[in-house]
């Protein structure tokens, strides 16, 4: 940014804005007429040439205008992030859709559908990892000689059932004592499955006698529950919207995007980075690491229904995306999801 004068930044931002709107290379005359830039087309062409030398725009062929590069988009996005604000229309749409869901409705899917509709891109939402969600109840039931059922009830009211192999020699009375121990821990406040396991193991290590055996049994049962990790839920909505855009007239590009959406493991790895980054994260081009897809932007952030466990919500589309609209919208949607799942409500202005 230090290399750019105010005039250069203005012309760069206008070029990117026009390219986002049209998808076509942007010429100097268009910028002069439509963006109130009080410079001659020749002067604007000279500035565009300087921007090209710096790597912020590129000219597809000699007689064409310029299109922004990933580096140009990055500068544009960073400027927008500092001044982002969700529009009143988008704010109202999110609040009305997510705050009026019937009990038991899949809020991840609803949020994905809404974001896809509002942005015209694909939306990806992941639920918090089950092992990290705060639990209000955890109970173990014996099914037969070899199997038991773990019933996990999260603070948000979601219920997970896991069929486990029972530890060797575990009888009904021991299992009931394990249930009482876990219930006693949860009475002091919600904990995740992982933190319950860690607390039991820690106390087992420092205690002796009859209680030690109970701790050992509880550690065995909880260990088997944690080992059977449920696959994180990944909701993808609106892929078909992408293929109505002019960028996707190329069949090879369509196939590359479809492969990226099918590779759930890669998507999860990419979104996991969002959990640690904080705030809205914008990945452009190769930064997204979505296989062979280059003309791509991923805008994502995390939401947390209980302040501990986290899921992610985001939008995937071409680099020609309306960043001024999408960046604040993704952040606001995540905040409303956190509040709805946590039993709170964002107020209408």
What's the pLDDT score for residue 82? 67
What's the pLDDT score for residue 301? 92
Q: 287 near 265, Cβ under 8 Å?
A: no
Q: Which two tokens stand for residue 278?
A: 């904080």
Q: Is 238 left (phi over 0), alpha (psi -120 to 50) or beta?
A: left
> CA-CA distance, 148 to 160, in Å (whole number)?
14
> Which SS3 state, helix, strand or coil, does residue 34 take?
helix
> Which SS3 state, helix, strand or coil, does residue 268 take?
helix
Q: Residues 109, 245: one domain?
A: yes
- Mean pLDDT across 74-101: 86
Q: Which two tokens stand for residue 113?
A: 């559908």
Q: Residues 115, 239: one domain?
A: yes
Q: Residues 208, 157: one domain?
A: yes
* Angle at CA of residue 282, ends 265 and 61, nearest 5°: 100
- Mean pLDDT across 286-292: 81
Count how many domains the chain has.
3
**Residue 10 domain-assigned (yes or no):** yes
> CA-CA distance, 114 to 116, in Å (whole number)?
5
Of these ranges, 8-12, 172-176, 179-183, the one predicted with the greatest mean pLDDT is: 8-12
> CA-CA distance, 120 to 181, in Å (whole number)?
50
> CA-CA distance, 298 to 290, in Å (whole number)?
10
What's the pLDDT score for residue 333? 95
Q: Residues 267, 322: one domain?
A: yes
> CA-CA distance, 343 to 35, in Å (whole number)?
46
Helix (H) or strand (E) holding 297: strand 297-303
What's the pLDDT score for residue 349? 47
Q: 218 near 181, Cβ under 8 Å?
A: yes
Is residue 169 scored above 50 in pLDDT? yes
Mutual orientation of helices 264-277 and 251-262 as an angle, nearest 10°?
Answer: 70
- Mean pLDDT across 55-84: 85
DSSP assignment letter at 320: S
What's the pLDDT score for residue 46? 93
> CA-CA distance, 241 to 132, in Å (whole number)?
33
Report the CATH number at residue 211. Answer: 3.30.390.60
Q: Residues 120, 241: one domain?
A: yes
What's the pLDDT score for residue 94? 96
DSSP letters for 40-56: -HHHHHHHHHHHHHTTS
> Considering 193, 227, 261, which residue would you say is the last residue of a domain?
227
Average pLDDT over the chain reads 83
Q: Residues 113, 244: one domain?
A: yes
**Residue 347 domain-assigned (yes or no):** no
Label residue 53 by pLDDT band (50, 70, 90): very high
Q: Which of these ranges, 107-121, 278-292, 335-349, has the smallest mean pLDDT?
A: 335-349
Q: Residues 182, 243: one domain?
A: no
What's the pLDDT score for residue 227? 62
Q: Which residue has the tokens 């930044």?
A: 9
Strands 134-142 and 122-126: unpaired
- Mean pLDDT across 236-259: 81
Is residue 125 scored above 90 in pLDDT? yes
- Mean pLDDT across 146-156: 82
Percent of the chain with pLDDT over 90: 26
Is residue 43 scored above 60 in pLDDT? yes
Q: What is the pLDDT of residues 316-336, one digit of tens each?
A: 988 888 898 999 999 999 999
* Domain span holding position 285: 88-128+232-341
Higher-pLDDT residue of 146 and 206 is 146
Of these ranges, 45-49, 186-190, 230-234, 275-279, the one predicted with the greatest mean pLDDT is: 45-49
Report the CATH number at residue 33. Answer: 1.10.10.10
Q: Residues 156, 191: one domain?
A: yes
> CA-CA distance, 237 to 115, in Å (whole number)?
9
**Residue 346 domain-assigned (yes or no):** no
> Considering 227, 242, 266, which residue would you say is the last residue of a domain?
227
């Amino acid at each position: 940014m230090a290399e750019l004068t105010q005039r250069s930044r203005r012309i760069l931002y206008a070029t990117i804005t026009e390219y986002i709107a049209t998808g076509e290379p942007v010429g100097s005359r268009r910028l002069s007429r439509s963006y109130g830039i009080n410079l001659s087309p020749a002067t604007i062409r000279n500035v565009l040439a300087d921007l090209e030398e710096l790597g912020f725009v590129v000219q597809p062929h000699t007689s064409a205008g310029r299109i922004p590069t990933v580096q140009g988009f990055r500068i544009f996005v960073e400027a927008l992030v500092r001044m982002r604000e969700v529009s009143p229309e988008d704010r109202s749409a999110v609040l009305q859709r997510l705050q009026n869901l019937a009990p038991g409705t899949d809020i991840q899917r609803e949020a994905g559908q809404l974001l896809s509709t509002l942005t015209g891109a694909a939306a990806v939402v992941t639920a918090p990892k089950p092992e990290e969600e705060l639990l209000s109840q955890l109970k173990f039931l014996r099914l037969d000689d070899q199997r038991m059922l773990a019933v996990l009830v999260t603070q948000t009211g979601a219920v997970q059932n896991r069929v486990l192999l029972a530890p060797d020699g575990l009888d009904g009375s021991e299992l009931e004592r394990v249930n009482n121990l876990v219930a006693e821990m949860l009475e002091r406040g919600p904990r995740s499955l992982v933190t319950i396991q860690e607390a039991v193991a820690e106390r087992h290590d420092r205690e002796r006698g009859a209680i030690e055996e109970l701790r050992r049994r509880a550690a065995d049962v909880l260990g088997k529950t944690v080992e059977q990790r449920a696959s994180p839920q990944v909701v993808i909505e609106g892929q078909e919207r992408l293929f109505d855009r002019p960028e996707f007239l190329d069949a090879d590009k369509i196939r590359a995007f479809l492969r990226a959406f099918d590779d759930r493991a890669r998507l999860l790895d990419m979104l996991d980075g969002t959990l640690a980054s904080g705030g809205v994260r914008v990945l452009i081009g190769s930064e997204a690491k979505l296989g062979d897809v280059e003309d791509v932007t991923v805008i994502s952030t995390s939401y947390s229904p209980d302040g501990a466990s986290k899921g992610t919500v985001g939008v995937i589309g071409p680099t020609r995306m309306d960043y001024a609209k999408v960046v604040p919208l993704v952040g606001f949607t995540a905040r409303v999801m956190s509040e709805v799942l946590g039993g709170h409500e964002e107020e209408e202005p």
